[in-house]
Amino acid sequence: MFQVPSHDPVVIAGSTHRELASRIAAELKVPLGRVRFNRFSNENLKVCIEENVRDRDVYVVQTSCPPVNESFMETLILIDALKSASAGRVTAVLPYLPYARSDKQDEPGISVTARLVADLLVTAGANRVLAMDLHSPQIAGFFRVPIDHITAIPVLCDALVKRDEGAARVVVATDIGEAKDAGRFAGSMKLPLAVIDKRRSGDDEHAVPNAIVGDVKGRHALIVDDEIATGGTIMEAAELVMGMGAASVEAAVVHPVLSGNAVERLRASPLRRLIVTDSIPVPEHKRDPRIEVVSVAPLLAEAIRRIHGGHSLYDMASRR
Ligand code: R5P
């Protein structure tokens, strides 16, 4: 006789961030779904779902980190395999979306690759998407399936509020685009806001902070940004606020991309602490005592719980 099926969500880990997927599964009190990955000598990948997912509500946890392109191909094959295995509904849980920065046609003849990524995920069979702190809000509109775009800003705020250092602080936005998020961050921490006027030209990865609107003198500056990639934006912002007389400087960032020589830059910078989330794993060789990681597993687990149960995510939504 067959058993009555369980209605728990099924959490499947891609190979980019098994640790985060395991934490999410633990929060949800479900085991990780069993999957086998075979990588062949011709670099082809075979994914085999070793779990009964028939008609189940499945959540594939896969972030974007090196090797970015290979990992994305794995995501597509994994989703396709789940559809082959008759999964009822597949939600792609993407803490950091691949190619999120390629979100606009800012010069002729280029691919808006974030849109292509969205199309490919849907073509592979994703029925829904759960994303976190997308580089820009319009990316959510690239998906032809429902997307929940949540924010980890409250997770970072909580981590900072827990250690009240009794200092006069000021939240600093790295540019005008980040001012809305940083403003919310400042609002929930009841702190003043300063905004850096930053200029970037074309695909030049070098950002130039120009001036600050707001007062940082004598205050402990807390720079807020959605991601740290090469570190140029944050480190130069840190130099600028210190040059403007800040007492100290630290940064709170959602996505620790830490590409290029970001960690060397961090070590040579006046930044006393960098708080990031585990939306992307920080490998051993990129760790530094100044980098503190807070987990978004409880946040993502709560989002999955609500999606699975058909409840609203309104209060978790990003308002970028
Ligand atoms: C820019 O629009 C973003 O908010 C980040 O400031 C940027 O992506 C960080 O890049 P990097 O660390 O390479 O300066």
Domain at 311, CATH number:
3.40.50.2020
The answer as to whether 39 is a domain residue is: yes
For residue 61, what are the β-bridge partners? 13, 93
Give me ligand 1 centre to Cα 126, in Å.
28
Instruction: Give the Å distance between the CA of 42 and the centre of ligand 1.
Output: 36
Instruction: State if residue 174 touches ligand 1 by the CB under 6 angstroms criterion.
Output: yes
Same domain, 88 and 139: yes
Query: Considering the chain, what percentage of its residues have pLDDT values greater than 70?
Result: 93
The predicted model gives 25-47 an average pLDDT of 97
152 has pLDDT over 80: yes
Domain that holds residue 304: 10-151+298-316
233 lines ligand 1 (CB under 6 A): yes
Name residue 149's beta-bridge partners.
131
Tell whether 289 is covered by a domain: yes
Assess if residue 30 is contained within a domain.
yes
- pTM for this model (two decimals): 0.93
267: left (phi over 0), alpha (psi -120 to 50) or beta: alpha
Maximum Cα–Cα distance for the chain, whole Å? 74
Give residue-wise pLDDT tens across range 48-71.
Answer: 999 999 999 999 999 999 999 999
Q: Is residue 5 part of a domain?
A: no
Domain contains 115: yes
**Is 179 a residue whose pLDDT tops 80?**
yes
Tell how far the Cα of 101 is from the centroid of ligand 1, in angstroms: 9
Residues 54 and 128 in one domain: yes
pLDDT band at 277 (very low <50, low <70, confident <90, very high): very high
Q: How far is the CA of 309 from the centre of ligand 1 (A)?
A: 35
Q: Looking at residues 197-222, what average pLDDT do you find?
A: 78
Name the residue with the closest Cα to ligand 1, atom 6: 233
Q: Which residue has the tokens 């400087």?
A: 249
In the structure, what pLDDT confidence band is assigned to residue 246 with cuts at 50, 70 and 90?
Answer: very high
- Beta carbon of 228 within 6 Å of any ligand 1 atom: yes
- Residue 162's pLDDT is what? 74
Residue 294 Cα to chain centre, angstroms: 12
pLDDT-based confidence at 168, cuts 50/70/90? confident
- Ligand 1: residue of 175, 233, 280 to mutate (most ligand atoms within 8 A of CB) is 233
Ligand 1 lined by 124 (C-beta under 6 Å): no
Is residue 91 included in any domain, yes or no?
yes
